[in-house]
Structure 1
Amino acid sequence: MNRPLARLLAGLLALGVLGAGGCASVPSESQVTPLKKISEGQGPALPPGPGDETNPLDLVRGFVNASGSSENRHAAARRFLTADAQNWDDNASLTVLAEQFDTVYAHPPGENRAVVRLRGQQLGRITANGSFAPAEAPVELDVAVSREDGQWRIDGPPSGTVVRLGDVRSNYKKVRLYFVDPIRHSPVADLRHLALSPARSLPARVVEQLLGGPSDALSGAAVSAIPRAVRLRSNVATSPDGTLIVDLTELGNLDEGQRWLLAAQIVLSVAEVNVSRVRLLDDGAPLLAKEPVLSRETFADLENADDPRPDIPGLVVVAGKARPLMGTELGAPLGAAPGVAGLDLAGAIMSPDGQQVAVVNRQGGRSLLVGKLGGPLGGTGVQGVALSRPSWSPTGGELWCVRNTDTVVRLTFDGAKHPMRAPLDASSLTALGPITDLRLSRDGLRVAAIASGRLVVGALARSTDGGAVVRNVRMLHAGQLTNLITVDWRAADQLAVAGRAAQNAVAMVSVDGLDLSPVPTNNLTPPLTSIASSPGRPLLVTDQNGLWSFGADDLGTWRQLSPGAGVIAGYPG
């Protein structure tokens, strides 16, 4: 066993008592140098303020456009305010607005006063900890304006900031903060959106957000290896050689394994803002005595634990028979394998470790079978008029499936690999309507599903007694993504969806719902019926004419892998 994993295992049992709180190799020693505080620094040039002859409608529009820049407490937006309105609380909230919005008069304007109504579509809010909470709804805000020194200025700004989606993308950085799966003790990414300016304070802000614990989306599912009482002993700073200095205090009595997990959380998180070297201190002394300077590569084994193995093939079901898929090459049907011969398959998925395969047999109704590839497949007791394609947990220790679109089934395996029903509360999912597809994330702590034709995501909370609950369920882009059929995980923080509608027939969606990116559909013939996605592998979809591939080698267009309707593909997991 390598040294990082040995250290990790040393503290696994103790992790459960911790609260949910708050790159090249580097030399193990370096000369101590004076610290340089990470300060505000020079930000980008501010957007222009209002012109001398700006009318009330354009004034409010300009105010919204300028609010995208958070530099110096939204100094650009404050140029649109009267002197008396400079106490505007810009930090009260951050509403994300769709690109197109209107400004109209709420009633006929006077000579020196007017009320401008801002009308648009709210996509959601970015909370104080930088997480995005989707909340699609029409929005109308009345903004009072008046003449000051002969020029129109805003004297009744809305509480908080209203920022267009495009300006969020331009002025905020998407950052993965890392927390911990309390059962598997592996890193779990939690998306945050932090203002780019001032850039030099980004590492300090990342550390501060880590101390605050997981976002609401992962509340109750992920935990932090950083105890609740921990705080910064001094400002996060950087030494002249570029090493980030993080000095913590009140850590308590942590063993080496717990310290290793804590260090992994901080180092992997600040690496997201281009920090390559970190010195972690506990009341001024090295947090890890044998590793005074850390980098992302220090925790490579831990970070990459859930990466799919490239040697395990995908499986494609053509005319009821499973065929292996490596890259874009289809192998011969597996129809001669024991337990597979004579079956009429409607789907087949390998476990992430390649040790087992789960299939849906459609002879005499649908039934879920599982076993070793090349060996006999046994029944699981899961049968129904309809069964979704199965989904494996990262370890291969759990298998999920949706029966008759209204019952989510969770199977676990004993020491002899016999499947058995396991406790699961998925009522927050099934309450949203018929479920046509469901996929466990590759880090095992989230679930994505298509319910009533719309995309929903939730967190998966597992208990030490073997139970599981799907919680914090959210619907993503309900207004834009409709008539969906299928979903899969492109990465730990990104989903791929496909459906019946010509618009957004194939799309990529961030797990928090902020980003939506349609994928070109040239050569495809909607409606689409299946999608398969995995990191580093081509995107696969099935349309009316067969199975198609879209990857780096396909030159921006879809390439047919297998003709015929009803072809179903699935990558391991």
Structure 2
Amino acid sequence: MNARRWVSALALLLATVGVAGCANVPLSSPVQVLRQVSEGDGAPLPPGPVDGSNPLDLVRDFVFASGSSTEKHGAARRFLAAQAAAWDDAANLTVLDGQFDTVPAPGAQDPNTGVTTIRIRGTAIGRVTSSGSFEPGQSVFQQDVTVQRSDGQWRISSLPAGVVLPMSIFRDNYRSVRIWFVDPVRRLVVADLRYVPSVPARAQAARVVELLLAGPSGALLGAAVSQLPPGAQLRSNVTFSTDGAVIVDLTRLGDLDEQSRSLLAAQVVLSLAEVNVSRVRLLADGEPLLAGRPDLTREDFSSLYAEMQAGADVPGLVVAGGHVRQLTGAEPGSALPGPMGNGAFDVESAASTGDGHRIAAVTWQGGQRRLLISGGGGEGGVEAAPLAADSMSRPSWTPTGTEVWTVLDSSVVARVLVDGAGSARTAQVNADELAALGPIADLRLSRDGMRVAAVVGGSLYTGAVARSIDGEVAIRNIRRLRPAELGEVVAADWRSAESIVAITRGPDLLVGQVSVDGLVVAQVLGNNLTPPLTAIAVAANRPLLVTDQSGVWSFAGGDQAAWRQVIGGAPDGVPFYPG
């Protein structure tokens, strides 16, 4: 399937299950990439093998039946001969794109002999690990299974460990959940995207607690931690009380102070809320984990979310013609008051903190790029960071507003500390793993501060921001997201902690939204835009902003059928939202 057909088909698919596609861009922070689950458990199992099936159809139907994980993939096991009863269905789960084939394997014996080999052939987009996390990895996929005739019917007699599913079947049988862990520096909770079986719905609560006890996924190792110590376990099974609460009784928690107990409670309650649990009775060795508070809801932990949410009064801005300018208000395009907008500096790109109090700007001075910070003291309210380079990427702030990051000469990731402890100063970021992949054209910190999205060598990557106790910072766990579908990426930005929007040079997908783990790609409406696109800014509950050859355009999704121009005559515009 060529790129145009693939993207169109997938975008249509995702539009039906809650992911942005064409004119329906989600405006809330969570990304529900798969369908919601009903309260009931009554989804029927897929049918077993059809009498008289030939080997090709048998294997194809087996793949479809493998979508149901109920009873250790009981529906799929009905396709197996006795010799394959030891099939390890828990080894891994490979997700294929929208099409796969079953064909005779080279050298397969004639079916008349009673034994033949069938090859499952397609394109893998990645795998779901035993921890429920998706690990991207596009590759040609082929897997051989042996089929034999017994009592007049074909059955699978030998097959590799693990499950293989096309995306459509995975979508129908699994759902996304956010499992919550802790930012060890700020002591706030952060989300880790996982996938759990849709059916039975009542088993999801126990699965969520199991994933919590196992700790962060590979994508966040070294960046997020858990307040559940390694030896923690359930004292009894997760159950439902007669009054509707889910009872979670933990043991071996060790000595936890009040803040650690609150964070642990937030992890459990917020994670269970992902599977429609509204109230949790959280116990430690039979007693309430939080004294005097036996039952807890997600509202009890609203102050612990790490993801920065800029208020409606913090505007988006744009750099154009060397000035920082207004994007909204009575005069869009008018210069921002003060040194960043009045022409005192030749500004090329900029970023504002979540509260809008500081702006970091890349400027052109004396034949070099320099980073200036307004609102941070210094002459005229502008302070020069001790950085200079031939090239400097658009800056990006941490959620605390005390660090701003940029990339020097497409290879060195630098951070500038503006934490009030004296003048702005630089600090190191170990980004060797990222820089080894090629020139870094763009780098954005997620608004919970736990990840970066980076455009390196024309591809989109994510990485975890790992901070050590002694203050060292590194970008780890690099993942490449969907190169075949996105093509050559120009720039990207975070819509939420679980979703990235990118602009590309491809004619088939100018603007695409991809889940943070790379499982889902959705095409965003591209009409009215004149490629090539050069800049993008996105944020939760804000319209998408892109720059094309005529200016800056806005798209809010919903009933909006086309992009709307915000500022014309600004092909050099670089829009930005707080962050």
TM-score, structure 2 normalization: 0.89
Q: What is the identity percentage for the equivalent residue pairs of Structure 1 and Structure 2? A: 51
Kept in 1, the 8 Å contact 2:189–2:306? The answer is no
Matched, 1:567 2:573: yes
Q: Distance in 2 between matches of 1:524 and 1:96?
A: 33
Q: Which residue is equivalent to 2:32?
A: none
Task: Choose from 346, 368, 371 the match for 2:371.
Answer: 368
Q: Which residue is equivalent to 1:467?
A: 472
Distance 1:326 1:223, change over 3 A: farther
How much does 1:341 deviate? 2.8
4+ runs of 1 displaced by more than 6 Å?
none
Q: Which residue is equivalent to 1:485?
A: 490
- Partner AA of 1:177 in structure 2: I
- Partner AA of 1:230 in structure 2: A
Q: Which residue is equivalent to 1:298?
A: 300
What stretches of structure 1 of length at least 5 have no aligned partner? 1-39
Distance 1:338 1:266, change over 3 A: closer
Distance 1:310 1:373, change over 3 A: farther
- What is the DSSP-based 3-state SS (H/G/I as helix, E as strand, rest coil) of the residue aligned with 1:123? strand
Kept in 1, the 8 Å contact 2:42–2:200? The answer is yes
Instruction: String of CA shifts for 1:545-568, please: whole Å, max 9, x gaps.
Output: 211111046613211111231111
How much does 1:332 deviate? 2.5
How much does 1:204 deviate? 0.9
Instruction: String of CA shifts for 1:509-551, please: whole Å, max 9, x gaps.
Output: 1111111111111111222111101111001111112111110
Distance 1:466 1:327, change over 3 A: farther
Distance 1:78 1:522, change over 3 A: same
Counterparts in 2 of 1:413-428, with a 5 A limit? 413-415=418-420, 418-428=423-433
- Partner AA of 2:525 in structure 1: P
Kept in 2, the 8 Å contact 1:335–1:341? The answer is no
Kept in 2, the 8 Å contact 1:450–1:484? The answer is yes
- Partner AA of 1:80 in structure 2: F
Task: Choose from 494, 497, 501 the match for 1:496.
Answer: 501
How much does 1:433 deviate? 0.3
Counterparts in 2 of 1:115-264, with a 5 A limit? 115-264=117-266
- Partner AA of 2:575 in structure 1: A
- What is the DSSP-based 3-state SS (H/G/I as helix, E as strand, rest coil) of the residue aligned with 1:98? strand
Instruction: String of CA shifts for 1:191-231, please: whole Å, max 9, x gaps.
Output: 11111122101011101110111011111111101122211
Q: Distance in 2 between matches of 1:523 and 1:517?
A: 18
How much does 1:373 deviate? 8.7
- What is the DSSP-based 3-state SS (H/G/I as helix, E as strand, rest coil) of the residue aligned with 2:455? strand
How much does 1:326 deviate? 4.4
Q: Which residue is equivalent to 2:31?
A: none
Q: Distance in 1 between matches of 2:172 and 2:147?
A: 28
Q: Distance in 2 between matches of 1:381 and 1:306?
A: 27
Q: Distance in 1 between matches of 2:434 and 2:274?
A: 32
Q: Which residue is equivalent to 1:390?
A: 395
Name the structure, 1 or 2, with higher relative contact order (CA <8 Å, separation 6+). 2
How much does 1:325 deviate? 3.0
Kept in 2, the 8 Å contact 1:335–1:342? The answer is no
Instruction: String of CA shifts for 1:58-98, please: whole Å, max 9, x gaps.
Output: 11111112111112221221222223323322112211112
- Partner AA of 2:504 in structure 1: G
- Partner AA of 2:52 in structure 1: E
Kept in 1, the 8 Å contact 2:306–2:448? The answer is no
- What is the DSSP-based 3-state SS (H/G/I as helix, E as strand, rest coil) of the residue aligned with 1:455? strand
Moved more, 454-463 or 474-483: 474-483
Q: Distance in 2 between matches of 1:64 and 1:515?
A: 20
Kept in 1, the 8 Å contact 2:181–2:225? The answer is yes
Q: Distance in 1 between matches of 2:292 and 2:531?
A: 58
Kept in 1, the 8 Å contact 2:307–2:497? The answer is no
Q: Which residue is equivalent to 1:529?
A: 534
- What is the DSSP-based 3-state SS (H/G/I as helix, E as strand, rest coil) of the residue aligned with 1:135? strand
What's the C-alpha RMSD, in Å, of the aligned pairs?
A: 2.0
Q: Distance in 2 between matches of 1:333 and 1:400?
A: 25
Kept in 1, the 8 Å contact 2:100–2:122? The answer is yes
Q: Distance in 1 between matches of 2:240 and 2:87?
A: 33
How much does 1:456 deviate? 0.6
How much does 1:410 deviate? 1.1
Q: Distance in 1 between matches of 2:158 and 2:435?
A: 44
- What is the DSSP-based 3-state SS (H/G/I as helix, E as strand, rest coil) of the residue aligned with 1:433? coil
Matched, 1:520 2:522: no
- What is the DSSP-based 3-state SS (H/G/I as helix, E as strand, rest coil) of the residue aligned with 2:203? helix
Counterparts in 2 of 1:332-347, with a 5 A limit? 332-334=334-336, 337=339, 340-347=342-349
- What is the DSSP-based 3-state SS (H/G/I as helix, E as strand, rest coil) of the residue aligned with 2:98? coil
How much does 1:252 deviate? 1.7
TM-score, structure 1 normalization: 0.89
Kept in 2, the 8 Å contact 1:102–1:120? The answer is yes
